[in-house]
Structure 1
Amino acid sequence: MRFQITDAVKHLIIINIIMFIGTVSIGNGQSFYEWFALYFPVNSAFKPWQIITHMFMHGDGTHLLFNMFALWMFGTSVERQIGKNKFLFIYFSAGIGAVLFQLGYYYFSYFPNYNELIASGISPEQLQQMFDTNKIPNALPAVQVAQIRTIGETYFASMVGASGCIMGILAAFGMMNPNAELMLIFLPIPIKAKYFIPGIILLDVISATTGQSFFSPSNTAYMAHVGGAIVGFLIMWYWKKNSMNKYRWDK
Protein backbone atom coordinates (compact mmCIF):
# COMPACT_ATOMS: atom_id res chain seq x y z
CA MET A 1 0.00 0.00 0.00
CA ARG A 2 1.19 3.49 -0.84
CA PHE A 3 0.73 4.89 2.67
CA GLN A 4 1.72 1.77 4.62
CA ILE A 5 3.81 3.02 7.52
CA THR A 6 7.59 2.64 7.25
CA ASP A 7 9.88 1.35 9.98
CA ALA A 8 11.52 4.54 11.26
CA VAL A 9 8.27 6.52 11.12
CA LYS A 10 6.48 3.79 13.07
CA HIS A 11 9.08 3.78 15.84
CA LEU A 12 9.17 7.57 16.07
CA ILE A 13 5.39 7.67 16.47
CA ILE A 14 5.55 4.99 19.19
CA ILE A 15 8.21 6.94 21.12
CA ASN A 16 6.20 10.16 20.85
CA ILE A 17 3.08 8.42 22.16
CA ILE A 18 5.00 6.86 25.07
CA MET A 19 6.46 10.25 26.00
CA PHE A 20 3.00 11.83 25.88
CA ILE A 21 1.60 9.13 28.17
CA GLY A 22 4.47 9.85 30.56
CA THR A 23 3.74 13.56 30.42
CA VAL A 24 0.08 13.20 31.41
CA SER A 25 0.58 10.41 33.97
CA ILE A 26 3.79 11.19 35.91
CA GLY A 27 3.78 13.95 38.51
CA ASN A 28 0.53 15.40 37.17
CA GLY A 29 2.37 16.11 33.94
CA GLN A 30 4.47 18.93 35.37
CA SER A 31 7.60 17.08 36.53
CA PHE A 32 7.91 15.09 33.29
CA TYR A 33 7.50 18.30 31.32
CA GLU A 34 10.17 20.08 33.38
CA TRP A 35 12.63 17.25 32.83
CA PHE A 36 12.27 16.90 29.10
CA ALA A 37 10.89 20.14 27.58
CA LEU A 38 13.54 22.55 26.25
CA TYR A 39 14.14 25.68 28.33
CA PHE A 40 16.19 28.77 27.51
CA PRO A 41 19.77 28.04 28.69
CA VAL A 42 19.84 30.91 31.24
CA ASN A 43 16.98 29.22 33.10
CA SER A 44 18.11 26.78 35.80
CA ALA A 45 15.52 24.32 34.44
CA PHE A 46 17.62 23.90 31.27
CA LYS A 47 19.43 20.55 30.93
CA PRO A 48 21.55 19.46 27.92
CA TRP A 49 19.45 16.37 27.19
CA GLN A 50 16.42 18.60 26.55
CA ILE A 51 17.92 19.49 23.17
CA ILE A 52 16.86 15.98 22.05
CA THR A 53 14.07 15.02 24.42
CA HIS A 54 11.88 18.03 23.62
CA MET A 55 11.46 16.61 20.09
CA PHE A 56 9.36 13.80 21.60
CA MET A 57 7.26 15.98 23.90
CA HIS A 58 3.87 17.53 23.11
CA GLY A 59 1.70 20.06 24.88
CA ASP A 60 -1.61 18.26 24.47
CA GLY A 61 -3.38 15.54 22.53
CA THR A 62 -4.22 17.79 19.58
CA HIS A 63 -0.59 18.86 19.24
CA LEU A 64 0.50 15.21 19.25
CA LEU A 65 -2.24 14.13 16.81
CA PHE A 66 -1.45 16.76 14.16
CA ASN A 67 2.30 16.18 14.35
CA MET A 68 2.03 12.40 14.17
CA PHE A 69 -0.42 12.64 11.27
CA ALA A 70 2.06 14.85 9.38
CA LEU A 71 4.92 12.51 10.25
CA TRP A 72 2.97 9.56 8.87
CA MET A 73 1.82 11.39 5.75
CA PHE A 74 5.14 12.89 4.67
CA GLY A 75 7.67 10.83 6.61
CA THR A 76 6.47 7.56 5.09
CA SER A 77 7.02 8.89 1.58
CA VAL A 78 10.43 10.42 2.37
CA GLU A 79 11.71 7.32 4.17
CA ARG A 80 10.56 5.12 1.30
CA GLN A 81 12.37 7.34 -1.23
CA ILE A 82 15.72 7.84 0.52
CA GLY A 83 15.95 5.02 3.05
CA LYS A 84 15.76 4.85 6.85
CA ASN A 85 19.23 6.20 7.69
CA LYS A 86 18.98 9.28 5.52
CA PHE A 87 15.46 9.90 6.74
CA LEU A 88 16.58 9.81 10.37
CA PHE A 89 19.55 12.04 9.57
CA ILE A 90 17.24 14.71 8.13
CA TYR A 91 14.74 14.26 10.96
CA PHE A 92 17.18 14.84 13.81
CA SER A 93 19.28 17.41 11.94
CA ALA A 94 16.12 19.43 11.34
CA GLY A 95 15.29 19.10 15.04
CA ILE A 96 18.72 20.51 15.97
CA GLY A 97 18.30 23.27 13.39
CA ALA A 98 14.96 24.14 14.96
CA VAL A 99 16.65 24.47 18.36
CA LEU A 100 19.40 26.72 16.99
CA PHE A 101 16.97 29.02 15.20
CA GLN A 102 14.54 29.31 18.11
CA LEU A 103 17.22 29.81 20.78
CA GLY A 104 18.98 32.29 18.49
CA TYR A 105 15.71 34.19 18.19
CA TYR A 106 15.34 34.14 21.96
CA TYR A 107 18.96 35.28 22.35
CA PHE A 108 18.40 38.48 20.36
CA SER A 109 15.22 39.13 22.35
CA TYR A 110 16.75 38.48 25.76
CA PHE A 111 20.29 39.81 25.96
CA PRO A 112 19.93 43.35 24.51
CA ASN A 113 17.21 44.08 27.07
CA TYR A 114 19.09 42.26 29.82
CA ASN A 115 22.29 44.25 29.20
CA GLU A 116 20.39 47.55 29.19
CA LEU A 117 18.79 46.68 32.52
CA ILE A 118 22.16 45.79 34.06
CA ALA A 119 23.67 49.01 32.69
CA SER A 120 20.82 50.97 34.31
CA GLY A 121 21.86 49.71 37.75
CA ILE A 122 19.62 46.66 38.24
CA SER A 123 21.77 43.74 39.41
CA PRO A 124 21.53 40.18 38.06
CA GLU A 125 20.48 39.08 41.55
CA GLN A 126 17.59 41.56 41.57
CA LEU A 127 16.42 40.34 38.16
CA GLN A 128 16.60 36.74 39.32
CA GLN A 129 14.54 37.60 42.38
CA MET A 130 11.90 39.19 40.16
CA PHE A 131 11.80 36.02 38.06
CA ASP A 132 11.60 33.78 41.14
CA THR A 133 8.84 35.79 42.83
CA ASN A 134 7.10 36.98 39.64
CA LYS A 135 6.99 40.47 41.13
CA ILE A 136 8.26 43.70 39.55
CA PRO A 137 8.77 46.71 41.88
CA ASN A 138 6.18 49.44 41.27
CA ALA A 139 8.84 52.16 41.49
CA LEU A 140 10.61 51.11 38.28
CA PRO A 141 10.10 53.22 35.13
CA ALA A 142 7.62 51.89 32.57
CA VAL A 143 10.42 51.26 30.04
CA GLN A 144 12.27 48.99 32.45
CA VAL A 145 9.07 47.18 33.42
CA ALA A 146 8.45 46.43 29.73
CA GLN A 147 12.04 45.18 29.32
CA ILE A 148 11.76 42.94 32.39
CA ARG A 149 8.51 41.47 31.08
CA THR A 150 10.11 40.87 27.68
CA ILE A 151 13.10 38.98 29.06
CA GLY A 152 10.84 37.21 31.56
CA GLU A 153 8.80 35.75 28.71
CA THR A 154 12.01 34.37 27.21
CA TYR A 155 13.38 33.21 30.55
CA PHE A 156 10.30 31.09 31.25
CA ALA A 157 9.75 29.98 27.64
CA SER A 158 9.77 26.26 26.96
CA MET A 159 9.70 24.36 23.69
CA VAL A 160 8.16 20.97 22.94
CA GLY A 161 7.13 19.07 19.86
CA ALA A 162 8.34 17.31 16.75
CA SER A 163 7.29 20.20 14.51
CA GLY A 164 10.85 21.31 13.69
CA CYS A 165 11.80 17.76 12.70
CA ILE A 166 8.64 17.37 10.63
CA MET A 167 9.19 20.69 8.85
CA GLY A 168 12.58 19.35 7.75
CA ILE A 169 10.88 16.22 6.43
CA LEU A 170 8.24 18.34 4.72
CA ALA A 171 10.94 20.41 3.00
CA ALA A 172 12.68 17.21 1.87
CA PHE A 173 9.36 15.90 0.55
CA GLY A 174 8.86 19.08 -1.43
CA MET A 175 12.35 18.86 -2.91
CA MET A 176 11.69 15.32 -4.15
CA ASN A 177 8.04 15.79 -5.09
CA PRO A 178 7.71 19.44 -6.19
CA ASN A 179 4.51 18.87 -8.17
CA ALA A 180 2.68 16.86 -5.49
CA GLU A 181 -0.56 18.62 -4.60
CA LEU A 182 -1.09 19.44 -0.93
CA MET A 183 -3.93 21.05 0.99
CA LEU A 184 -4.46 22.68 4.38
CA ILE A 185 -7.32 21.27 6.45
CA PHE A 186 -8.77 24.76 6.76
CA LEU A 187 -8.14 25.62 3.11
CA PRO A 188 -9.06 22.59 0.97
CA ILE A 189 -7.51 23.91 -2.23
CA PRO A 190 -4.79 21.75 -3.89
CA ILE A 191 -1.48 23.59 -4.16
CA LYS A 192 1.74 22.15 -5.57
CA ALA A 193 4.39 21.39 -2.95
CA LYS A 194 6.92 23.76 -4.56
CA TYR A 195 4.54 26.63 -3.73
CA PHE A 196 2.79 25.23 -0.66
CA ILE A 197 5.87 24.57 1.48
CA PRO A 198 7.62 27.94 0.92
CA GLY A 199 4.25 29.56 1.66
CA ILE A 200 3.99 27.76 5.00
CA ILE A 201 7.55 28.83 5.90
CA LEU A 202 6.80 32.44 4.95
CA LEU A 203 3.73 32.44 7.21
CA ASP A 204 5.89 31.16 10.09
CA VAL A 205 8.41 33.97 9.51
CA ILE A 206 5.60 36.54 9.52
CA SER A 207 4.14 35.04 12.70
CA ALA A 208 7.54 35.07 14.43
CA THR A 209 8.21 38.72 13.60
CA THR A 210 4.72 40.15 14.09
CA GLY A 211 3.12 37.84 16.65
CA GLN A 212 0.18 37.28 14.26
CA SER A 213 -0.85 33.62 14.26
CA PHE A 214 -2.46 32.13 11.14
CA PHE A 215 -3.04 28.40 11.62
CA SER A 216 -1.12 27.66 14.84
CA PRO A 217 -1.61 28.60 18.50
CA SER A 218 -0.07 31.94 19.47
CA ASN A 219 2.56 30.23 21.66
CA THR A 220 4.01 28.27 18.71
CA ALA A 221 7.82 28.36 18.32
CA TYR A 222 7.63 29.70 14.77
CA MET A 223 11.38 30.11 14.26
CA ALA A 224 11.82 26.45 15.17
CA HIS A 225 9.58 25.61 12.20
CA VAL A 226 11.68 27.86 9.96
CA GLY A 227 14.96 26.38 11.21
CA GLY A 228 13.80 22.81 10.71
CA ALA A 229 12.56 23.53 7.19
CA ILE A 230 15.77 25.31 6.17
CA VAL A 231 17.97 22.47 7.45
CA GLY A 232 15.84 19.84 5.70
CA PHE A 233 15.96 21.85 2.47
CA LEU A 234 19.75 22.35 2.61
CA ILE A 235 20.47 18.67 3.29
CA MET A 236 18.23 17.48 0.46
CA TRP A 237 19.58 20.18 -1.87
CA TYR A 238 23.14 19.02 -1.16
CA TRP A 239 22.27 15.37 -1.72
CA LYS A 240 20.48 16.10 -4.97
CA LYS A 241 23.27 18.36 -6.20
CA ASN A 242 25.93 15.76 -5.46
CA SER A 243 23.98 12.78 -6.80
CA MET A 244 22.27 11.01 -3.92
CA ASN A 245 23.20 7.54 -5.14
CA LYS A 246 26.90 8.38 -4.90
CA TYR A 247 26.51 8.98 -1.17
CA ARG A 248 23.74 6.49 -0.51
CA TRP A 249 23.69 4.88 2.90
CA ASP A 250 22.29 1.46 3.78
CA LYS A 251 18.57 1.54 4.45
Structure 2
Amino acid sequence: MTYTLLFANVAIFGLELLIGSSMVQRYALWPIGAGFAPWQILSSAFLHGSPMHLAANMLGLFVFGRDVEAALGRLRFATLYALSMVTAALAQLAVSALLHDAHPVVGASGALFGVMVAFAMLFPKRVIILLFPPIPLPAPLFVVLYAAFELYAGVTGSMSGVAHFAHLGGLVGGFLLMRTWRPRSSRR
Protein backbone atom coordinates (compact mmCIF):
# COMPACT_ATOMS: atom_id res chain seq x y z
CA MET A 1 0.00 0.00 0.00
CA THR A 2 2.85 2.41 0.81
CA TYR A 3 4.35 1.94 -2.64
CA THR A 4 0.91 2.25 -4.27
CA LEU A 5 0.38 5.58 -2.48
CA LEU A 6 3.85 6.75 -3.50
CA PHE A 7 3.16 5.86 -7.12
CA ALA A 8 -0.31 7.46 -7.07
CA ASN A 9 1.00 10.72 -5.62
CA VAL A 10 3.86 10.95 -8.12
CA ALA A 11 1.62 10.02 -11.08
CA ILE A 12 -1.06 12.54 -10.09
CA PHE A 13 1.59 15.23 -9.67
CA GLY A 14 2.71 14.42 -13.22
CA LEU A 15 -0.87 14.91 -14.39
CA GLU A 16 -1.03 18.12 -12.41
CA LEU A 17 2.02 19.40 -14.30
CA LEU A 18 0.49 18.39 -17.65
CA ILE A 19 -3.03 19.66 -17.04
CA GLY A 20 -2.15 22.75 -15.06
CA SER A 21 -4.15 24.97 -12.76
CA SER A 22 -7.56 23.63 -13.83
CA MET A 23 -6.79 20.44 -11.92
CA VAL A 24 -5.98 22.42 -8.78
CA GLN A 25 -9.12 24.53 -9.25
CA ARG A 26 -11.29 21.42 -9.30
CA TYR A 27 -9.55 19.02 -6.90
CA ALA A 28 -7.78 21.17 -4.26
CA LEU A 29 -9.52 21.55 -0.90
CA TRP A 30 -11.39 24.84 -1.09
CA PRO A 31 -13.09 26.36 1.95
CA ILE A 32 -16.83 25.92 2.23
CA GLY A 33 -18.48 28.66 0.22
CA ALA A 34 -15.36 29.33 -1.86
CA GLY A 35 -15.55 26.40 -4.27
CA PHE A 36 -15.74 23.45 -1.88
CA ALA A 37 -16.92 20.08 -3.20
CA PRO A 38 -17.07 16.90 -1.07
CA TRP A 39 -14.58 14.91 -3.19
CA GLN A 40 -11.91 17.50 -2.42
CA ILE A 41 -11.60 16.01 1.08
CA LEU A 42 -9.72 13.12 -0.55
CA SER A 43 -8.57 14.47 -3.92
CA SER A 44 -6.64 17.39 -2.41
CA ALA A 45 -4.28 14.98 -0.63
CA PHE A 46 -2.98 13.72 -3.98
CA LEU A 47 -2.12 17.17 -5.33
CA HIS A 48 1.05 19.04 -4.40
CA GLY A 49 2.17 22.64 -4.74
CA SER A 50 5.70 21.98 -6.01
CA PRO A 51 8.21 19.20 -6.64
CA MET A 52 9.80 19.89 -3.23
CA HIS A 53 6.40 19.65 -1.51
CA LEU A 54 5.82 16.29 -3.20
CA ALA A 55 9.36 15.08 -2.41
CA ALA A 56 9.09 15.97 1.28
CA ASN A 57 5.75 14.22 1.68
CA MET A 58 6.82 11.14 -0.26
CA LEU A 59 10.08 10.88 1.68
CA GLY A 60 8.10 10.92 4.92
CA LEU A 61 5.66 8.34 3.57
CA PHE A 62 8.54 6.11 2.47
CA VAL A 63 10.41 6.42 5.78
CA PHE A 64 7.46 5.90 8.12
CA GLY A 65 4.85 4.16 5.98
CA ARG A 66 6.65 0.89 5.30
CA ASP A 67 7.12 0.03 8.97
CA VAL A 68 3.62 1.16 9.93
CA GLU A 69 2.11 -0.90 7.11
CA ALA A 70 4.18 -3.95 8.12
CA ALA A 71 2.90 -3.63 11.70
CA LEU A 72 -0.75 -2.93 10.89
CA GLY A 73 -1.27 -4.79 7.63
CA ARG A 74 -2.35 -3.35 4.30
CA LEU A 75 -6.03 -2.78 5.07
CA ARG A 76 -5.49 -1.09 8.42
CA PHE A 77 -2.68 1.02 6.98
CA ALA A 78 -4.97 2.16 4.15
CA THR A 79 -7.67 2.94 6.72
CA LEU A 80 -5.20 4.94 8.83
CA TYR A 81 -4.02 6.90 5.80
CA ALA A 82 -7.56 7.63 4.57
CA LEU A 83 -8.88 8.59 8.01
CA SER A 84 -5.91 10.90 8.54
CA MET A 85 -6.62 12.53 5.16
CA VAL A 86 -10.24 13.09 6.18
CA THR A 87 -9.49 14.47 9.65
CA ALA A 88 -6.81 16.73 8.15
CA ALA A 89 -9.29 18.10 5.62
CA LEU A 90 -12.02 18.58 8.24
CA ALA A 91 -9.61 20.44 10.54
CA GLN A 92 -8.56 22.65 7.64
CA LEU A 93 -12.18 23.35 6.68
CA ALA A 94 -13.01 24.30 10.28
CA VAL A 95 -10.02 26.64 10.61
CA SER A 96 -10.69 28.19 7.20
CA ALA A 97 -14.28 28.89 8.24
CA LEU A 98 -13.18 30.43 11.55
CA LEU A 99 -10.53 32.61 9.92
CA HIS A 100 -12.55 33.39 6.79
CA ASP A 101 -9.66 32.10 4.70
CA ALA A 102 -10.49 31.52 1.03
CA HIS A 103 -7.28 29.79 -0.07
CA PRO A 104 -7.21 26.21 -1.34
CA VAL A 105 -5.03 23.53 0.25
CA VAL A 106 -3.18 20.63 -1.37
CA GLY A 107 -0.86 17.89 -0.17
CA ALA A 108 -0.55 14.58 1.62
CA SER A 109 0.94 16.12 4.78
CA GLY A 110 -2.17 15.55 6.89
CA ALA A 111 -2.20 11.85 6.03
CA LEU A 112 1.55 11.73 6.63
CA PHE A 113 1.10 13.17 10.12
CA GLY A 114 -1.33 10.35 10.89
CA VAL A 115 1.27 7.84 9.70
CA MET A 116 3.99 9.55 11.77
CA VAL A 117 1.98 9.38 14.99
CA ALA A 118 1.21 5.73 14.27
CA PHE A 119 4.95 5.11 13.81
CA ALA A 120 5.69 6.77 17.15
CA MET A 121 3.02 4.72 18.91
CA LEU A 122 4.09 1.43 17.32
CA PHE A 123 7.83 1.98 17.65
CA PRO A 124 8.37 4.18 20.71
CA LYS A 125 12.01 3.15 21.11
CA ARG A 126 13.03 3.98 17.54
CA VAL A 127 15.27 7.00 17.13
CA ILE A 128 14.76 9.60 14.41
CA ILE A 129 17.74 11.76 13.50
CA LEU A 130 16.86 15.22 12.31
CA LEU A 131 18.79 16.42 9.29
CA PHE A 132 19.28 20.03 10.37
CA PRO A 133 20.57 20.03 13.06
CA PRO A 134 21.46 16.31 13.30
CA ILE A 135 19.85 15.55 16.66
CA PRO A 136 18.68 12.01 17.53
CA LEU A 137 15.22 11.93 19.10
CA PRO A 138 12.97 9.06 20.20
CA ALA A 139 10.07 8.79 17.74
CA PRO A 140 7.38 9.90 20.25
CA LEU A 141 9.39 12.98 21.22
CA PHE A 142 9.99 13.82 17.56
CA VAL A 143 6.25 13.69 16.85
CA VAL A 144 5.34 15.73 19.95
CA LEU A 145 7.90 18.42 19.11
CA TYR A 146 6.79 18.50 15.48
CA ALA A 147 3.15 18.83 16.58
CA ALA A 148 4.08 21.62 19.02
CA PHE A 149 5.89 23.43 16.22
CA GLU A 150 2.85 23.04 13.93
CA LEU A 151 0.56 24.39 16.65
CA TYR A 152 2.88 27.33 17.32
CA ALA A 153 3.25 28.11 13.59
CA GLY A 154 -0.51 27.84 13.07
CA VAL A 155 -1.46 30.05 16.01
CA THR A 156 1.17 32.71 15.31
CA GLY A 157 0.63 32.68 11.54
CA SER A 158 4.32 32.14 10.87
CA MET A 159 5.16 30.15 7.76
CA SER A 160 2.11 31.33 5.85
CA GLY A 161 1.00 29.13 3.00
CA VAL A 162 1.30 25.96 5.11
CA ALA A 163 -1.83 24.21 6.39
CA HIS A 164 -0.58 23.71 9.94
CA PHE A 165 -4.01 22.81 11.32
CA ALA A 166 -4.52 20.21 8.59
CA HIS A 167 -1.28 18.60 9.77
CA LEU A 168 -2.58 18.58 13.32
CA GLY A 169 -5.96 17.25 12.19
CA GLY A 170 -4.26 14.31 10.48
CA LEU A 171 -2.16 13.68 13.57
CA VAL A 172 -5.19 13.69 15.87
CA GLY A 173 -7.12 11.38 13.54
CA GLY A 174 -4.22 8.94 13.36
CA PHE A 175 -3.70 9.06 17.12
CA LEU A 176 -7.35 8.39 17.92
CA LEU A 177 -7.55 5.52 15.46
CA MET A 178 -4.34 3.96 16.77
CA ARG A 179 -5.71 4.10 20.31
CA THR A 180 -8.46 1.70 19.19
CA TRP A 181 -6.11 -0.78 17.45
CA ARG A 182 -3.41 -3.17 18.51
CA PRO A 183 -0.59 -4.01 16.10
CA ARG A 184 -0.96 -7.23 14.14
CA SER A 185 1.92 -8.89 16.03
CA SER A 186 0.17 -8.48 19.41
CA ARG A 187 -3.10 -9.99 18.12
CA ARG A 188 -1.48 -13.37 17.43
Give the alignment's TM-score, normalised by structure 2: 0.95
- Separation in 2, partners of 1:60, 1:178: 32
1:11-90 matches, within 5 Å, as 11-26=4-19, 29-43=20-34, 45-90=35-80
- Separation in 2, partners of 1:244, 1:101: 32
Amino acid at match of 1:178: P
User: Residue in 1 aligned with 2:141?
Assistant: 195
- Separation in 2, partners of 1:35, 1:14: 21
- Separation in 1, partners of 2:14, 2:74: 26
Kindly indicate whether the alpha-carbon contact (under 8 Å) linking 2:110 and 2:166 is maintained by their aligned counterparts in 1.
yes
User: Residue in 2 aligned with 1:10?
Assistant: 3
User: Alpha-carbon deviation of 1:170?
Assistant: 0.3
- Separation in 2, partners of 1:100, 1:80: 28
Structure 1: give runs of 5+ residues left out of the alignment.
Answer: 1-7, 111-153, 247-251
User: What SS does structure 2 have at the residue aligned with 1:187?
Assistant: coil
User: Residue in 2 aligned with 1:185?
Assistant: 131
User: Residue in 2 aligned with 1:239?
Assistant: 181
User: Alpha-carbon deviation of 1:106?
Assistant: 1.4
> Once structures 1 and 2 are overlaid, which stretch shifts more, 99-108 or 232-241?
232-241
Question: Would the alpha carbon gap of residues 244 and 99 (structure 1) be closer, same or farther in structure 2, given more than 3 Å must change?
Answer: farther
User: Alpha-carbon deviation of 1:184?
Assistant: 2.3
1:80-159 matches, within 5 Å, as 80-110=70-100, 154-155=101-102, 157-159=103-105
User: What SS does structure 2 have at the residue aligned with 1:100?
Assistant: helix
Are 2:152 and 1:210 aligned?
no
User: Alpha-carbon deviation of 1:240?
Assistant: 3.5
Per-residue displacement from partner, 1:92-130 (whole Å, max 9, x unpaired)?
A: 1001010111111112212xxxxxxxxxxxxxxxxxxxx
User: Residue in 2 aligned with 1:136?
Assistant: none
User: Alpha-carbon deviation of 1:36?
Assistant: 1.1
Amino acid at match of 2:18: S
Please report the RMSD computed on the Cα atoms of aligned residues, expressed in angstroms: 1.6
Give the alignment's TM-score, normalised by structure 1: 0.71
User: Residue in 2 aligned with 1:228?
Assistant: 170
Percentage of pairs with the same residue:
34
User: Alpha-carbon deviation of 1:190?
Assistant: 0.4
Per-residue displacement from partner, 1:6-26 (whole Å, max 9, x unpaired)?
A: xx0111111111111111111
- Separation in 2, partners of 1:244, 1:225: 29
User: Residue in 2 aligned with 1:151?
Assistant: none
User: Alpha-carbon deviation of 1:46?
Assistant: 2.1
Query: What is the number of residues matched between the two proteins?
Result: 187
